[in-house]
Chains A and B, each alone.
Chain A
Amino acid sequence: MNATLAILSRELRLALRSGGGAGLGLAFFLMVVMLIPFGVGPVPHLLAQIAPGTLWIAALLACLLSLDRLFQADFEDGTLDILALSPMPLEGLVAIKAFAHWLTTGLPLVIAAPILGITLNLADSAYWWLVISLAVGTPALSFLGAIGAALTVGIRRGGLLLSLLVLPLYIPTLIFGARCVTSASEGMDVMPAFQLLAGVTLFTLALTPIAAAAALRMHMR
């Protein structure tokens, strides 16, 4: 337990102190959401209609932005080798790192999303479900991203490859998450979409650390 907390606090301190990794994702999220009205036009009912999808896609891109640093620095300076030798299983390490990534990028987005929802004229009934769906869905984004980050860790200029590998994995989460918010804004039953979203997240949390740890071991062999 001590080791878990130690690694978690190390990850958080690194993320918060190294050039504002957390703030950067949030600023990117803000930028993307702000650009949408410029592209679509300042039509309130149109913006209200695309608000759920826009917020979800912006969150997904913001999450992608900081993924390539998840294992890269530790892999290059040898920290990862030492951590892999420790009694903690590599799967656990991956889970902690992905969780720290969520705390520093996913969680701020969950908090900022309703404020940006106002600017997009999101329907009143959808705010709660926007927050809930993002809170439930974004952990899956971080954990799925961990697979992509682990696969591309040793590759020079792996950033674009990482996006190509990770984005298709985000499709189910995006569909169910955005549908949650859309259903809520249209006054329909939210539960089917929400239950599927939660299902995908739980499945992801359970299985991705195994795949990502396997990929990391292959890199370190």
Chain B
Amino acid sequence: MSIWEFANPVRFMRLTGKVLPWITALAIGCLAVGLIWGFFFTPEAENFGSTVKIIYIHVPAATLAINAWGLMFVASLIWLIRRHHVSALVARAAAPVGMTLTLVALITGATWGQPMWGTYWEWDPRLTSFLVLLIFYLGYMALWEAIDEPDKAADLTSVLAMVGTVFAVISRYAVNFWNQGLHQGASLSLDKEEHVSDVYYVPLLLTLAGFFFLFLALVLLRTGTEIRARRIKALQLQEVN
């Protein structure tokens, strides 16, 4: 039994059909418990007041926005090397979800920045990097839409994902060089000294898990849709001929 068996669209569909309800349930459960706990039952933070509650959506959304691009990078690489169609479609399916999460991270960050930093937008390295990430998502999705032939679109977007990853990383550090910024340090870290205090930690982990399962559920659902859409296209072509 190897993971490559799920490169077969039929097997992939059968598996996702089975696990999707469970993942959805997990997503709803974790998000509900985490958000209610975080929103209603955590104290105000010393220096942030009640705005600390935004952390429960901002941090998970930002974490997943970056990791969604990472997923697209790996899936594109697998497509380029092994040419499994499911892999290319996973990358395509993840892009709009990643873009939405990037937007969520930007908007929650901006509303939080207004009372805390005194401005909605600050050209801070982390904020700026997320804006760059948003543009990379937009370009990636636009390229998928612009090319009609499915395999060629998968090829070219994969190249873009490779190049984009390299330059997103370079930009991240270039932006650091350009402006030191105001952003808080890491909220979650294995280094105990650094991350937020325990009161906020557990609900944060729960919403992080919730956002992760939500992302996973959406990607699986959208990948299934893409596989079906591809099949419809193939059948229609057969009918014409």
Contacts and interface: CB of A to CB of B under 8 A. Distances in A.
Q: How large is the interface on A (under 10, 10 to 19, 20 to 34, 35 or more residues)?
A: 20 to 34
Contacts of B166: 207
A164 B162 contact: no
Interface in B143-194: 143, 146-147, 152, 155-156, 159-160, 162-164, 166-167, 170-171, 174-175, 177-178
Contact of A218 (B155, B167, B171): B155
Contact of B167 (A172, A215, A221): A172
Interface residues of B, number: 25
Contacts of B136: 168
Interface in A142-165: 147, 151-152, 154-155, 158, 161, 164-165
A147 B156 CA distance: 10
A135 interface: no
B96 interface: no
- Residues of B contacting A: mostly: helix
A196 interface: yes
Given A151-B156, A155-B146, A168 B139 contact: yes
A158 B139 CA distance: 12
A196 B159 CA distance: 25
B143 A161 contact: yes
Given A151-B160, A215-B159, A175 B135 contact: no
Interface string A188-216: 00001100100010000001100100110
Given A176-B174, A179-B177, A211 B138 contact: no
B159 A175 contact: no
B167 A176 contact: no
Interface centre among B135, B136, B159, B162 (most CB of A within 10 A): B159
Given A151-B156, A151-B160, A171 B167 contact: yes
Contacts of B139: 161, 164-165, 168
A219 interface: yes
B132 to A, nearest CB: 6
Contact of B174 (A151, A152, A172): A172
Contacts of A169: 163-164, 167
Contact of A179 (B164, B170, B178): B178
Contacts of B10: none
B25 interface: no
A211 B152 contact: no
B142 interface: yes
Contact of B170 (A161, A172, A208): A172
Contacts of A196: 174, 177
Given A155-B146, A164-B138, A221-B152, A171 B132 contact: yes
Given A161-B139, A221-B152, 19 more contacts: A152-B143, A155-B147, A158-B146, A164-B139, A168-B136, A168-B139, A171-B132, A171-B171, A171-B175, A172-B167, A175-B174, A175-B177, A175-B178, A179-B178, A196-B177, A208-B163, A211-B162, A215-B159, A218-B155
Interface of A: 147, 151-152, 154-155, 158, 161, 164-165, 167-169, 171-172, 175-176, 179, 192-193, 196, 200, 207-208, 211, 214-215, 218-219, 221
15 contacts: A151-B160, A161-B146, A164-B138, A165-B139, A168-B132, A168-B171, A169-B164, A171-B132, A171-B175, A175-B175, A175-B178, A207-B166, A211-B159, A218-B155, A218-B159
